[in-house]
Structure 1
Amino acid sequence: MTSIAIIGLGIMGLPMATNLVKAGYDVTGFNRSQEPIDKLVEAGGKGATSIADAVKDADVIITMVPDSPDVEGVVRGEDGVFANAKAGALWIDNSSIRPDVAKTLAEEAVAAGFGAVDAPVSGGEQGAIDAALSIMVGGSPEHFAAAEPVLNAIGKTIVHVGPAGAGQTVKAANQLIVAVNIQALAEAVVFLEAFGVDTDAALKVLGGGLAGSKVLDQKGQKMLDRNFDPGFRLALHNKDLGIVTSAARSVGVTVPLGAAVAQLVNALVARGDGGLDHSGLFKLTNELSGKDIS
């Protein structure tokens, strides 16, 4: 049985770990807080007391943490993955981080005798629960082939998109598209409500036409219900849009819509709404129109 260590049991990481257990893998999890570890154990997995403890016997190591510095902290240092995993282990980073950091860390991993792929995911909490994530993978063909069976247990669309760092580049593009779509949906719902339209009916018919999208399917009802419980937090999308705008600038690419939405997301985070779902853009869009939805 393949032994998998997963570091980071948050909104996405815990259901991913649970699906790996369901797929028959021997799964050991570590998280900074204890409650998610206990939930993984209840689901049939094992808990670890440290990163080193989690990875020492693992064939595959998955990291699912918030940002580039978090991934660096998990894999580097005397208590990290690289210093404690067994030779030949495969490292899969499902986090969403800077492409240049992903490339550098993959090079360090390979130099230390490990396999490595950057494999950020898209699909939000529900996609993680349903094992229906879209996963864009960067790394060598050989390392992708080794990672693919594991990724098939947590995702539905798994695509090798290029060398190390390429997965994170495609994920940045994904986050650009998602953010602009959420903002457009928020504006449309505010517009519809201002005219007193039956919004349930409106979203149903819009979803069946060219305006239809997974964003509309997953976020439209949350806006109508004023339910911004996080499936993907604004704080994380803010981080991702920072990656997009910085990377675009570095290669001379202009992303005017992305830059505008990045500022709106940053404003929400700056005022304390970073813990809301990214559909919380609807709140700010209402306020800019002089409406209060609290």
Structure 2
Amino acid sequence: MDEQVLGFCGPGLMGAPMIRHLLRAGHAVRVWNRTPAKAEALIADGAQVAATPNGLARETDVVLLCVADAAAVEQVVFGEHGLLAGAPGESVRVRRIVDHSSIPPDATRRLAERAAAFGVGWVDAPVSGGVAGAQSGSLAIMAGGAATDFAAVTPILAAYAARVTHMGGVGAGQTTKLCNQAIVTATVAAIAEAVSLARRSGIDAAKLPEALAGGWADSTLLRTFVPRMTQDGLEPIGALKTFQKDVDTIAAAAAQTGTPMPVSGTVQQLLRLGAAMGLAQADFSGFIDVLQTPRTGEA
């Protein structure tokens, strides 16, 4: 079978290292980004740049997306000059779209149904592992879509993922990512509470990972976020507004399915408070800044 030509829309903090892994694995990759400089930065690594998503769709077999939200996905795929701009039946080469963005499951199903009218399969494949996982090629991918589409793209995803799991039909990957984010956001909020308690009790919060190593509270998140909450000058790994978007989507899915999620509801209110405090652009560890408001009588 001839090597498939890949397209990638969205070479940002996550997308750029994923593209570099694809190139190192020997794939031919064409890239597009709304900000051309982000795509052009990958030319030195061997990528080719497309002027529009539609131009990319006419030159590639599989297109991977890693963009901000459902509106961005819809614009890249169906907007003016989008991958599938025009009427169904118009000629494009792309046969499958893999969406690494984190968007609502119901939006995913609607987009996949529209793509099917063009004869294009859809795999929703949100990722977990953050920028570090993208850089190391150790992402976890939870995927939804037809089994044939999933099987066709799995070897591609292996370039930057340590684990790729098929969770069911279209939308199942996005639902699994919501489960992931419910656990992650609640855990990071709990870590911030623990750091705050340690500080106000007069102990060195930075030593929590050492003290709790090997116990039930030990985790990758604990080892990642305690340093980020107790040290200055670390490179951001994401913005609180992203967590807020995800938790708002969790709340919507909970309402649609009648699922009680009181912990996620509390995290949602904490993130809304952070946004009201001007912390929407703060690092994921910004939960600690929300909790570190002065006590009564403190300066």
| TM-score w.r.t. length of structure 2 | 0.92
Q: CA deviation at 1:110?
A: 2.1
Equivalent residue number for residue 183 of structure 1: 189
What amino acid does structure 1 have at the position aligned with 2:172? Answer: A
Kindly tell me: are residues 215 and 227 of structure 1, through their superposed partners in 2, closer, same or farther at Cα, counting changes over 3 Å?
farther
Equivalent residue number for residue 221 of structure 1: 227
Equivalent residue number for residue 173 of structure 2: 167
Equivalent residue number for residue 52 of structure 2: 50
What amino acid does structure 2 have at the position aligned with 1:61? Answer: V
1:150 matched to 2:152? The reply is no
Within 5 A, what are the aligned runs for 1:59-208? 59-83=61-85, 86-87=92-93, 89-208=95-214
User: Contact (CA 8 Å) 1:139, 1:162: kept in 2 or not?
Assistant: yes
Q: CA deviation at 1:269?
A: 2.4
Q: CA deviation at 1:49?
A: 1.7
Q: Distance in 2 between matches of 1:288 and 1:247?
A: 35
Tell me whether 106-115 or 120-129 shows the greater mean CA deviation.
106-115
Q: Distance in 1 between matches of 2:219 and 2:67?
A: 27
Tell me whether 34-43 or 99-108 shows the greater mean CA deviation.
34-43
Kindly tell me: are residues 253 and 56 of structure 1, through their superposed partners in 2, closer, same or farther at Cα, counting changes over 3 Å?
same
Kindly tell me: are residues 289 and 151 of structure 1, through their superposed partners in 2, closer, same or farther at Cα, counting changes over 3 Å?
farther
Task: Describe the SS at the equivalent of 1:269.
Answer: helix
Task: Describe the SS at the equivalent of 2:85.
Answer: helix
Q: Matched residues, percent identical? A: 35
Residues 7-36 of structure 1: per-residue CA shift (max 9 Å, x gap): 111111111111111111111111111331
Q: CA deviation at 1:213?
A: 1.5
Tell me whether 204-213 or 20-29 shows the greater mean CA deviation.
204-213
1:231 matched to 2:237? The reply is yes
Q: CA deviation at 1:140?
A: 0.9
Kindly tell me: are residues 286 and 89 of structure 1, through their superposed partners in 2, closer, same or farther at Cα, counting changes over 3 Å?
same
Equivalent residue number for residue 35 of structure 1: 37
Q: CA deviation at 1:265?
A: 1.1
Equivalent residue number for residue 274 of structure 2: 268
Equivalent residue number for residue 265 of structure 2: 259
Q: Number of aligned pairs? A: 293
Q: Distance in 1 between matches of 2:125 and 2:252?
A: 20
Q: Distance in 2 between matches of 1:175 and 1:118?
A: 16
Greater share of helix residues, 1 or 2? 1
Residues 141-170 of structure 1: per-residue CA shift (max 9 Å, x gap): 111101101111111111000100010011
What amino acid does structure 1 have at the position aligned with 2:78? Answer: R
Q: Structure 2 unaligned runs (5+)?
A: none
Equivalent residue number for residue 210 of structure 1: 216
Q: Structure 1 unaligned runs (5+)?
A: none
Instruction: Find 2:20's aligned residue among 14, 18, 21.
Output: 18
